[in-house]
Chains A and B, each alone.
Chain A
């Protein structure tokens, strides 16, 4: 079975659609603690697709506004930076994550909804974990599995063998990927994020989301994405054939003084927020 080396696969990354300029600029604006609301407005107003979508969502029945919002300034004032950023990231990432991924047995839209679940969950964990980087957490959550979009083609060939290994050896999907393919979807995703020049904090979240004990010093952002992924996997949000064959690290809970009740409460809120997200994206 030939699957190619990691370098060959990363070379494939060049053939992937580049990260839209707006997303790159928004991530940088949000990563900068000094950034202002006006900077967010400036980035969005030059992206026609995004402007149209932000206004459509703002004026949708979901918000039930008494009058029509006609400008991005108005929309940003109304929804707040965080909501606008979420919307912007979601509009663009959705295009990337919405295709079916045969290799992982993911039907169309499943990876998108799983990623949205992790994005929302990571953000909800910010409060109990006392983190302030809401935009970064959302983006890292949304992109944590982006490596699957690249690997899917390769995995579909070697896939039967990966699943067989998972079933017979009770091993995790990542361990089976490593053994059969020689690399894992978090590593491929991290390489992709590096090629997009995303901030290192996001690259680390992608690289270690299944291995939060690997960074030399524990990284609270990685921990949040790991727990958000754990919650989404447990709730069955957009699962593929890989199912729940991943390891969860209880040390993360101890590090942040979280109880299982905390996770359950976050899970309940994730489902509520996801319904709102799906409603926002429903065709009007």
Chain B
């Protein structure tokens, strides 16, 4: 099994059997996996902020940094591997929060809402998710089986 690491603000797709895409330490960031059960192609995005208007220059070089540039790029990369939108299995993890009662630092929540908004506009449904709380998550996508596993606080749980 080959493991391919997706860093923060990055994305990767693969149609290679026996490959796992993995991203470590999702805090308030969002990890998004797409998998096509027919072509057995999958992709993983690890974005850190909702909107690219914060730094348009950075977004051009690093579309995976933001939700509004990373998500379209991930879908396009999947289509190039022959994936079809309505077959895609969509899973989401991350969006954690600090213990902050008045919500000054609620970027995790806004990261998640930005994704929901894009999905709602484009008619994409989320199949499974593990979001919120104050935990750090590692997300793995098995390209052969489409299985997604979340590791958090030393425990692994299928998503």
**Interchain CB contact under 8 A, B134 and A245:** yes
- Nearest A residue to B58 via CB reads A268
Residues from chain B with a CB closer than 8 A to the CB of A170 are 99
How far in angstroms is the closest Cβ of chain A from B53? 10
Instruction: Mark contacts of B94-136 with chain A using CB atoms, 8 A cut-off: 1 yes-contact digit, 0 otherwise.
Output: 1011111010110110000000000000000000000000111
* Interface presence of A265 (CB below 8 A): yes
Give chain A interface residues in 235-276, CB to chain B under 8 Å.
235-241, 243-248, 250, 253, 260-261, 263-265, 267-268, 271-272
* Interface presence of A234 (CB below 8 A): yes
* Interface presence of A230 (CB below 8 A): yes
Q: Which of B21-29, B68-76, B78-86, B142-150 is the contact stretch?
A: B21-29
Q: Which residues of A contact B (CB under 8 A)?
A: 105, 110, 163, 166-167, 170, 172, 230, 233-241, 243-248, 250, 253, 260-261, 263-265, 267-268, 271-272
Q: A243-B134, A243-B136, A243-B153 are in contact. Are A265 and B55 (CB under 8 A)?
A: yes
**Interchain CB contact under 8 A, A233 and B49:** no
Once the chains are docked, how many angstroms separate the CA of A282 from the CA of B48? 24
Residues from chain B with a CB closer than 8 A to the CB of A272 are 58
How far in angstroms is the closest Cβ of chain A from B31? 10
How far in angstroms is the closest Cβ of chain A from B106? 9
How far in angstroms is the closest Cβ of chain A from B29? 6
**Interchain CB contact under 8 A, B27 and A268:** no
Once the chains are docked, how many angstroms separate the CA of A245 from the CA of B102? 15
* Interface presence of B54 (CB below 8 A): yes
**Interchain CB contact under 8 A, B65 and A271:** yes
How far in angstroms is the closest Cβ of chain B from A235? 6
Once the chains are docked, how many angstroms separate the CA of A280 from the CA of B101? 39
How far in angstroms is the closest Cβ of chain B from A173? 9
Once the chains are docked, how many angstroms separate the CA of A143 from the CA of B98? 21
* Interface presence of B154 (CB below 8 A): yes
Q: A243-B27, A243-B96, A248-B105 are in contact. Are A236 and B54 (CB under 8 A)?
A: no
How far in angstroms is the closest Cβ of chain A from B125? 26
How far in angstroms is the closest Cβ of chain B from A159? 10
